[in-house]
Amino acid sequence: MTFQMSDISLITPEIVLTLTALLVLLVEAFRPGAGRSDTTWLSIIGVLVAAAFALGQFGEKKLGFSGMLSIDSYSAFFKLIFCSIGLLCFLISDGFMKSEEYEHGEFHALMLMSMTGMMLMASSNHLLMMFLGLETMSIAIYALAGYMRTKEGMESSFKYFLLGGASSAFLLYGIALLYASTGTTQIDLLFNHFAAQGGMTHSPMALAGIALIAGGFAFKVAAFPFHVWTPDVYQGAPTPVTAFMATGVKAAAFAAFFRIFLVAFPASVESWSGALWIIAVLTMTMGNLAALVQKDIKRMLAYSSIAHAGYLLVAMVTATADAGTGLLFYLFSYAFMNIGAFACVIMLGRKGDQRTTLDDYAGIGFKKPLLAAALTVFMFSMAGIPPTAGFIGKFLIFKAAIKQGYIWLAVLGVLNSAASVYYYLRVLVYMYFKEPGEKADEPLRAGGLIALATTIAVVVILLLGMVPGAMVELAQAAASKF
């Protein structure tokens, strides 16, 4: 193991984010005070600079830090996703934290740290590196979930911490077993090891390791049967944090999940794709069924995010470059539609009164036309109805599955999509078809920033829905080069 100075240049986005986080902490320490947005702006600039560096990493293919990190188009694409998520979350959290009187710079610093962890996960070429990234991300999020110190927030944070700790243990145990049976934890070397054994692995210890790793990731992406924590944690956390978790953590976990399984274990694809097939179907079905009966929009979005994890697992099962294209495109567009939806939830809430029951949405369609129109776009996109990005994402994923012969998986997936339409439409039913309640006339908790975030999300979703060509090509390029 040797360290070269030139390796530093490979992690410029991570460095930028870390430095920004530190700078934010310093600014907060020397200029405390309420009602300011300067840490928000600082964080946004940091994220934009990091995104610019990440863009520069497209087309590269380098291993750094003795093979611990792999800098390639795949990780660059994910870094772009994380930066988009960070940007949107900073924009939507500013007004929220102000109205809740909780605007501290630490909030931004924690998010930036967490994003650094996500980026490391996406580019890790080593199971331990991946684990370090995962923990960097998770610890920051445990703190963020309970940031507001409300009763629900504390509960949310504690639940996430306990279960997250357990899942980390799973993962670590899986890594240990894998190391014991193969003698390496570097992802590309694992591939060589399995390939040398003639493909299919017969070592029970290695198989147990793979299963435990899959279990650890299943928890992070909220896949069946490790999904039960999601609604409570999502509901209790501050809404911007919920948005951040639902998109960022999911994207990061899928980034590592897909890379590990596709790079390290493709030779034993039969031994894990069958199990994942069942998990994928159960995940989307359980998520959708539970979402059908929710009366609270945050819980509904939590269950729907479980269902979305199910669709993304279809890409995992398919395990080809085509599926990777779908996965990347889907995660990218999912970030915009999900954060956009949470932005709308934030705008309708008030201090101490989140107003997340569906009844609170009655009649706002004509009382708050722009907000309702934006939420409509997000709901249609999540339901996968053209011409939105959500449709193209589902199309790409199911297309890859059909190509590989997973016809029943695709059919179950599209039937699940059809079922999900019901609860997404219910939001529209309340917004447009019901008479407005008393609260519908109150002004929105909006600032310029959150409105900007919502606008960006709507524009991106519609653009990706109507002219997806360039983004599809970018995702194709990223998914074919690990």
Partner 1 sequence: MILTILAFLPLIGAIAILLMKEESTGAIRGFALFTACVNFVISLPLLFGFDSAKAGMQYVEKVDWIPSLGISYHLGIDGISLWLVMLTTFLSVICILSSGSVEKKLKQYMFFFLLLETGMIGALASLDLFLFYIFWEAMLIPMYFLIGVWGGKERIYAAVKFFIFTMVGSLLMLVAIIALYYLNIKAGNPATFNILELYKLPIAPSVQMVMFMAFALAFAIKVPMWPVHTWLPDAHTQAPTAGSVILAGVLLKMGCYGFLRFAMPLFPNAVVAATPFMMTLAVVGIIYGALVAMVQKDVKKLVAYSSVSHLGYVMLGIFALNAQGVVGGLYQSLNHGISTGALFLLVGVIYERRHTRMIEDFGGLARQMPYYATIFLIITMSSIGLPGLNGFVGEFLIMMGAYLSSPIAAIFAASGVILAAGYMLWMYRRVFFGPLENEANKNLTDLTGLEWGYLMPMVILAFWMGIYPATFTSKMEPTITAWLSHIETKKIACMELEPVKNPVASLFSGAETLRK
Q: Mapping DSSP to helix (H, G, I), strand (E, B) and coil, where does residue 194 land?
A: helix
Residue 67 or 266 with smaller CB distance to partner 1? 266
According to DSSP, residue 124 is labeled B
Stretch 439-458: interaction string toward partner 1, x if CB under 8 A:
--------------------
Q: Is 366 in the site for partner 1 (CB under 8 A)?
A: yes
Give, for 62, the enclosing helix (H) or strand (E): strand 61-64
β partners of residue 72: 61
Stretch that binds partner 1, among 117-125, 145-153, 352-360, 420-428 (CB under 8 A): 420-428
Size of the site for partner 1 (CB under 8 A): 45
Q: Closest approach of Cβ 431 to partner 1, in Å?
A: 10
* Sites for partner 1 among residues 169-208 (CB under 8 A): 191
Q: Is 425 in the site for partner 1 (CB under 8 A)?
A: yes
**How many residues would you count in the chain?**
482
Answer yes or no: are the C-beta atoms of 109 and 24 closer than 8 Å. Answer: yes
Q: Closest approach of Cβ 405 to partner 1, in Å?
A: 3
Contact residue for partner 1 among 175, 393, 468, 478 (CB under 8 A): 468
Q: How many Å from the N-terminal Cα to the C-terminal Cα in the chain?
A: 22
Q: Which of 317, 459, 339 is nearest to 81 (CA)?
A: 339
Return the amino acid letter for 253. A
Contact residue for partner 1 among 37, 63, 387, 436 (CB under 8 A): 387
According to DSSP, residue 10 is labeled G
Q: Which of 136, 92, 97 is nearest to 114 (CA)?
A: 136
d(CA 325, CA 442): 43
Contact residue for partner 1 among 132, 282, 429, 463 (CB under 8 A): 429
Residue 173 or 191 with smaller CB distance to partner 1? 191
Q: Is 361 in the site for partner 1 (CB under 8 A)?
A: no
Which ranges of 221-268 does DSSP label H, i.e. alpha helix?
230-236, 239-244, 250-259
Q: Is 476 in the site for partner 1 (CB under 8 A)?
A: yes
Q: Closest approach of Cβ 360 to partner 1, in Å?
A: 18
Answer yes or no: are the C-beta atoms of 362 and 427 closer than 8 Å. Answer: no
Q: Is 292 in the site for partner 1 (CB under 8 A)?
A: no
Q: Mapping DSSP to helix (H, G, I), strand (E, B) and coil, where does residue 324 land?
A: helix
Stretch that binds partner 1, among 31-39, 72-80, 334-342, 472-480 (CB under 8 A): 472-480
Answer yes or no: are the C-beta atoms of 80 and 55 closer than 8 Å. Answer: yes
> Residue with structure tokens 């934290």?
97
> Residue with structure tokens 């998990």?
279
Stretch that binds partner 1, among 13-21, 161-169, 326-334, 382-390 (CB under 8 A): 382-390
300 burial type by CB count under 10 A (0-12 exposed, 13-18 middle, 19+ buried): buried
Contact residue for partner 1 among 432, 436, 452, 455 (CB under 8 A): 432
CB-CB neighbours of 473 under 10 Å: 11
Q: Is 403 in the site for partner 1 (CB under 8 A)?
A: yes
Contact residue for partner 1 among 8, 169, 278, 407 (CB under 8 A): 407
Contact residue for partner 1 among 402, 452, 462, 463 (CB under 8 A): 402
- Chain centroid to CA 99: how far? 26
Residue 279 or 323 with smaller CB distance to partner 1? 323
Residue 405 or 448 with smaller CB distance to partner 1? 405
Q: Is 479 in the site for partner 1 (CB under 8 A)?
A: no
For residue 262 the two structure tokens come to 């596709």
Answer yes or no: are the C-beta atoms of 118 and 82 closer than 8 Å. Answer: yes
Contact residue for partner 1 among 61, 162, 433, 459 (CB under 8 A): 433
Q: Is 385 in the site for partner 1 (CB under 8 A)?
A: yes
d(CA 389, CA 402): 20
Q: Closest approach of Cβ 306 to partner 1, in Å?
A: 20
Residue 41 or 191 with smaller CB distance to partner 1? 191
d(CA 168, CA 162): 10
Q: Is 321 in the site for partner 1 (CB under 8 A)?
A: yes
Q: Where does this chain bind partner 1 (CB under 8 A)? A: 191, 263, 266-267, 269, 319-322, 366, 380, 385-387, 391, 395, 398-399, 402-407, 410-411, 414-415, 417-418, 421-422, 425-426, 428-429, 432-433, 467-469, 472-473, 476, 482
